[in-house]
Amino acid sequence: MRLRLVFLVSLIGTIVGSGVPIAILIGVYGSLARAADPGITHRVTAGKLLSLIPVIIGIAGGYFVYRHTARWRKLQATLTASLILLLCFLATVAAVWL
């Protein structure tokens, strides 16, 4: 099993998958505190659309690992996509709390 590839792709996918939505929110609203204000309804739609970015990055990372391994392809691809989604979620929660 190519664990270095899985972890490297997961790390890069997490940086891109959580960094891009955070950068977009900061660019549009000025801060994550204003973007997380529940009183404004149009921001909920933006949050739902921005949550697609980590999913797309997770699928792309899983596909990349699937194509670049010889054995245990499905397991490694699933592990990579799951790690990307989990780490993106944790990074986004940490960014909002800070």
pLDDT, tens digit, 9 for 90 and up, residues 6-16 = 999 999 999 99
User: Considering its fold, how many domains does the chain have in total?
Assistant: 1
At 41, the pLDDT band (50, 70, 90 cuts) reads: low
Quick check: 45 pLDDT over 90? no
- Cβ-proximal residues to 71 (8 Å cutoff; 6+ apart), any chain: 1
Dihedral (CA of 39, 97, 82, 20) sign? positive
User: The domain containing residue 9 runs over which residues?
Assistant: 3-97
Calculate the alpha carbon distances from 75 to 50, 69, 83 in Å: 27, 11, 12
Quick check: 49 pLDDT over 70? yes
In single-letter form, the type of residue at position 69 comes to T
Mean pLDDT of 55-72: 90
87 against 1, higher pLDDT: 87
What is the reported pTM? 0.82
